[in-house]
């Protein structure tokens, strides 16, 4: 059986079996596998479990009908015949791109079976659970992506090598350092509700496994799996909450930061959303270990396990924008170091609040430290907003 090799991504080989055009497979990088870290969900509610170190993870995409011209036009305008399917697929060197493209265009006719085990040539493949409903909800349609971009990136899109669109927010993932780099979303007063936490830390099904962070990147490191998009901002539905637990939404965060002053800042943001009707939130990671207000070389990032693991941010920022009066916006920007000196969980709220007041900065400083234009094309006076320094934390009500 002839096999056409399509994948060029390091560690991930994609193949089209020409003897069976309904099958596309990809082999994961050795030693890495999907993981679930203390998840309270059943395996069949997220990705399938059961992959062992000895087994080869194979991802199959099975088309349930003849791939005719309509589908091929969506992938490649110059592929009028089903036989040209292989050429079309070669345009998409990552399996995740294939899955998303097909899901967006032929949604209900596509069956995405996430994991199969292949123990060697000639052995029968043992099919395990298909993708679960929570993970499936992260595969947005084209219309949902367009809507999310309009709502959560109203002033343009900052630079990013890997953007993930959710209905409730947009997230940038740093593939090299395996951490969330920035997020952007509109948080409305009606979104701020209470809900019981459901832990669901896990790898992201939208990425090849070698590009995912893993549970091992955090286990025993001394760092928390710190959310970039806060779980409590997404309590409006269990799907939204559960999908903040993808490891693509995490960074290695000091426990005192994650559970202390940073959590207190997140609480302030929700209070501001309720008081103002809505706020726009932009949060992110800073890699500036030498504190020279310039972004470090990604290759120099500190790692969660010293010589391995996920990249450890030196700081975190949060920019909150709201309408101060009709047609006028204002912003407050805070920069929090990922350091042991930050007030922790057991500190008094007044101590945390005083600390936050001393960490008020400008968008201009965040731009210098990250190298990112976080508000590329606003309709308001960009320079004034970026240089403004809030005199204090906004009132909570």
Domain that holds residue 383: 137-387
- Does 16 fall in a domain? yes
Q: What confidence score (pLDDT) does residue 250 get?
A: 98
- Does 394 fall in a domain? no
DSSP string, 333-390: EEEEESSTTS--TTS-HHHHHHHHHTTEE-HHHHHHHH---SS-S-SS-HHHHHH---
Whether residues 113 and 163 fall in one domain: no
Residue 59 predicted with pLDDT over 80? no
Whether residues 117 and 176 fall in one domain: no
In the chain, the number of structural domains is 2
Whether residues 120 and 211 fall in one domain: no
| Contact assessment for residue 80 and residue 72, using Cβ atoms and an 8 Å cutoff | yes
Q: What confidence score (pLDDT) does residue 32 get?
A: 64
Whether residues 73 and 151 fall in one domain: no
- Does 393 fall in a domain? no
Whether residues 12 and 161 fall in one domain: no
Name 197's Cβ contacts closer than 8 Å, sequence gap at least 6. Answer: 231, 241
Report residue 47's pLDDT band, with 50, 70 and 90 as the boundaries: low
Whether residues 330 and 352 fall in one domain: yes
More reliable by pLDDT, 151 or 397:
151
Residue ending a domain, choose from 130, 152, 177? 130
Whether residues 89 and 157 fall in one domain: no
- Does 330 fall in a domain? yes
- Does 224 fall in a domain? yes
Whether residues 202 and 308 fall in one domain: yes
Stated length of the chain = 397
| Contact assessment for residue 18 and residue 105, using Cβ atoms and an 8 Å cutoff | no
Residue ending a domain, choose from 130, 165, 200? 130
Residue ending a domain, choose from 130, 156, 190? 130
Structure tokens at 354: 């005083």
Report residue 205's pLDDT band, with 50, 70 and 90 as the boundaries: confident
- Does 353 fall in a domain? yes
Whether residues 91 and 202 fall in one domain: no
Whether residues 210 and 84 fall in one domain: no
Report how far residue 110's alpha carbon sits from residue 64's, in angstroms, rounded to the nearest whole number: 6
| Contact assessment for residue 61 and residue 130, using Cβ atoms and an 8 Å cutoff | no
> Chain-centre distance of CA 43, in angstroms?
21
Q: Residue 270: helix, strand or coil by DSSP?
A: helix
Name 97's Cβ contacts closer than 8 Å, sequence gap at least 6. Answer: none
Whether residues 257 and 157 fall in one domain: yes
- Does 392 fall in a domain? no
Structure tokens at 330: 């204002």
Report how far residue 139's alpha carbon sits from residue 112's, in angstroms, rounded to the nearest whole number: 11
Whether residues 209 and 243 fall in one domain: yes
Least confident of 136-145, 172-181, 358-367, 377-386: 136-145
Least confident of 67-81, 180-194, 242-256: 67-81
The beta-strand segments (E) located in 208-308 are: 224-227, 250-253, 278-286
- Does 168 fall in a domain? yes
Instruction: Write the CATH number for 185.
Output: 3.40.570.10
Report residue 130's pLDDT band, with 50, 70 and 90 as the boundaries: low
Structure tokens at 339: 């350091």
Structure tokens at 207: 């990425």
Q: What confidence score (pLDDT) does residue 34 get?
A: 72
Report residue 193's pLDDT band, with 50, 70 and 90 as the boundaries: very high
Beta bridge partners of 173: 180
């Amino acid at each position: 059986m002839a096999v056409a090799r399509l994948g060029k991504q390091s560690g991930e080989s994609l193949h089209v079996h020409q003897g069976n055009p309904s099958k596309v497979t990809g082999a994961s990088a050795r030693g890495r596998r999907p993981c679930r870290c203390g998840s309270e969900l059943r395996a069949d509610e997220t990705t399938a479990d059961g992959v062992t170190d000895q087994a080869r993870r194979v991802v199959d995409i099975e088309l349930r009908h003849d791939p005719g011209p309509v589908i091929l036009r969506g992938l490649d305008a110059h592929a009028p015949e089903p036989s040209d399917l292989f050429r079309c697929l070669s345009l998409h060197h990552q399996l995740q791109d294939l899955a998303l493209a097909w899901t967006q265009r032929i949604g209900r006719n596509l069956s995405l079976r996430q994991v199969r085990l292949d123990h060697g040539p000639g052995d029968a493949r043992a099919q395990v659970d298909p993708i679960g409903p929570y993970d499936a909800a992260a595969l947005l349609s084209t219309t949902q992506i367009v809507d999310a971009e309009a709502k959560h990136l109203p002033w343009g899109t900052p630079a990013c090598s890997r953007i993930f669109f959710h209905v409730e927010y947009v997230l940038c993932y740093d593939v090299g350092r395996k951490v969330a780099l920035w997020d952007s979303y509109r948080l409305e007063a009606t979104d701020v509700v209470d809900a019981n936490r459901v832990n669901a830390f896990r790898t992201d099904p939208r990425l090849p496994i070698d590009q995912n962070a893993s549970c091992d990147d955090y286990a025993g490191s001394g760092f928390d799996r710190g959310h970039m998009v806060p779980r409590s901002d997404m309590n409006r539905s269990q799907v939204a909450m559960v999908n903040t637990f993808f490891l693509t939404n995490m960074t290695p965060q000091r426990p005192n930061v994650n559970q202390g002053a940073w959590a207190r800042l997140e609480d302030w943001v929700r209070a501001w959303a309720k008081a103002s009707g809505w706020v726009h939130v932009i949060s992110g990671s800073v890699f500036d270990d030498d504190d020279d207000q310039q972004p470090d070389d990604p290759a120099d990032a500190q790692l969660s396990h010293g010589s391995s693991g996920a990249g450890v941010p030196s700081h975190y920022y949060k920019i909150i924008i709201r309408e101060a009066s009709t047609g006028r916006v204002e912003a407050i920007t805070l920069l929090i170091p990922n350091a042991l000196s930050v007030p922790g969980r057991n500190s008094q709220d007044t101590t945390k609040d005083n600390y936050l007041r001393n960490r008020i900065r400008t968008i201009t400083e965040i731009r210098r430290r990250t190298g990112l234009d976080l508000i590329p094309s606003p309709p308001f006076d960009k320079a004034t907003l970026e240089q403004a320094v809030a005199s204090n934390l906004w009132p909570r009500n």
